[in-house]
Structure 1
Amino acid sequence: MSIRKLFSRRFLASAVTVPLVAGSLVFVTPGVAEAVTCGQSWSNKDPGWGTGTHSAESPYTVPLHSGMYGDCRVTSRVSTGIKLWYHCYRRNSYGNTWTHVRIDGTDWKGWVWDEYLNDGGSYYPC
Structure 2
Amino acid sequence: MDDVKIGEILLPGDEKTQKKQEEKVRSRFWPTFKKAARQIPFSRDLVAAYYCAMDRETPFRVRGILLAALGYFVLPIDVIPDVLAVVGFTDDIAVLTTAIALINRHIKERHYEAADTVLGDEELRA
TM-score of the two chains, using structure 2 as the length reference: 0.24
Q: Which has the higher contact order (CA 8 A, sep 6+)?
A: 2
Report the structure, 1 or 2, having the larger helix content: 2
Looking at CA atoms only, which structure, 1 or 2, has the larger radius of gyration?
1
TM-score of the two chains, using structure 1 as the length reference: 0.24
